[in-house]
């Protein structure tokens, strides 16, 4: 694990903007694919993984890695990305 200093309060507004951008871009993708989702595989009873879930997550992960590479990611589908002390949590 890479040791980093804790986030300062001055960094929070920029990180919120990054998160908002990721959500908006992912939301546009989901709206474009509304009604056309395909089941990729069944994770559990009544818990299907859809192609749009993977596509949406890919958009979010890509943007977060590009704009905030110093923060790791804990993702529902991709698992742990990075070895930082701080993480985005994507579900």
Quick: pLDDT tens for 13-57: 999 999 999 999 999 999 999 988 888 777 777 777 778 889 999
Asked if the model's pLDDT at residue 2 lies above 60, the reply is no
1 burial (CB, 10 Å; 0-12 / 13-18 / 19+) is exposed
**For the whole model, what pTM was predicted?**
0.82
Question: What is the greatest pairwise CA distance in the chain?
Answer: 44
Residue 58 host element (H or E): helix 51-67
pLDDT in tens, 58-86: 999 999 999 999 999 999 888 899 878 89
> Using an 8 Å Cβ cutoff, are 31 and 59 in contact?
no
| Cα distance between residue 55 and residue 60, in whole Å | 9
């Amino acid at each position: 694990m890479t040791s980093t200093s804790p986030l300062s309060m001055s960094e929070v507004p920029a990180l919120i903007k990054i998160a908002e951008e990721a959500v908006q871009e992912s939301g546009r993708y989901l709206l474009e694919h509304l009604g056309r989702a395909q089941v990729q595989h069944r994770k559990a009873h009544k818990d299907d993984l859809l192609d749009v879930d993977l596509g949406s997550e890919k958009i979010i992960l890509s943007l977060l890695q590009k704009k905030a590479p110093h923060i790791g990611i804990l993702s529902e589908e991709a698992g742990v990305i990075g070895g930082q002390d701080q993480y985005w949590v994507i579900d």
